[in-house]
Amino acid sequence: MRKWLTLVMSMLALSAALASTRDVETGPSFQLIFRDTYSGTNETVINVGDSVRWVWRSGYHTTTSYNNLWDAEVSSVQRTFTYTFNQPGVYEYYCIPHESLGMVGTVRVRIPGDVDFSCVVDDSDLLDVLFAFGASGARREDLNYDRVVDDADLLIVLFNFGNGC
């Protein structure tokens, strides 16, 4: 049993250490929106070290951060743009030609295991996962993004317990 638990914890540590990339559709179905392919909304939640890749679907658009960290064209000419987030925080962005029409988005970057974005993995994160245990869908408690809150998410909190920004 102890060997099995060590193996599971090692695999979780490795998977948490590997950065991932989340896709955001830009102008899907000729709509003036950004849409995260996981949540289906204009909000993307990732861990520190992960990347967001904006993928062109229709029209001419930009992805431009309000704090001047990036400004890129996403169009039929430049089909993707990827940015890696190395600091926790909230990053808001917009499309220059369509901002006034509501084409805006948000990237929320957290440390692994920080369910409530408090910048520390603590008992409130543990309780959030426990109370959501068994729930499915795109949820903030789904820390490994497999669309179900389960023991893997609980282990991510436990493995990172006490870590902070």
Are 98 and 47 found together in one domain? yes
Inter-residue contact 70 to 92 (CB < 8 Å): no
Quote the number of domains for the chain: 2
Rounded mean pLDDT, 34-59: 97
Residue with more model confidence, 76 or 91:
91
Beta bridge partners of 104: 94
Is pLDDT at 9 greater than 70 in this prediction?
Answer: no
Is pLDDT at 138 greater than 50 in this prediction?
Answer: yes
Are 70 and 129 found together in one domain? no
Of 75, 95, 110, which closes a domain? 110
Are 104 and 121 found together in one domain? no
Are 123 and 92 found together in one domain? no
User: Mean pLDDT, the chain, as a whole number?
Assistant: 92
Rounded mean pLDDT, 41-54: 98
Rounded mean pLDDT, 48-67: 97
Rounded mean pLDDT, 43-58: 97
What residues contact residue 33 under an 8 Å CB cut-off, 6+ apart?
27, 42, 102, 103
Are 92 and 58 found together in one domain? yes
Of 87, 110, 133, which closes a domain? 110
Report pLDDT for 16: 47
Report pLDDT for 7: 53
Kindly state whether residue 118 falls inside one of the protein's structural domains: yes
d(CA 54, CA 21): 10
pLDDT tens for 78-131 read: 999 999 999 999 999 999 999 999 999 999 999 999 999 999 999 999 999 999
Are 164 and 118 found together in one domain? yes
Rounded mean pLDDT, 15-24: 78
Kindly state whether residue 4 falls inside one of the protein's structural domains: no
Mean pLDDT lowest among 17-21, 22-26, 51-55, 104-108: 17-21
Are 105 and 123 found together in one domain? no
**Burial bucket for residue 49 (CB in 10 Å: 0-12, 13-18, 19+):** middle
Report pLDDT for 55: 98
Is pLDDT at 38 greater than 50 in this prediction?
Answer: yes
Are 97 and 149 found together in one domain? no
Of 83, 110, 137, which closes a domain? 110
Is pLDDT at 17 greater than 60 in this prediction?
Answer: no
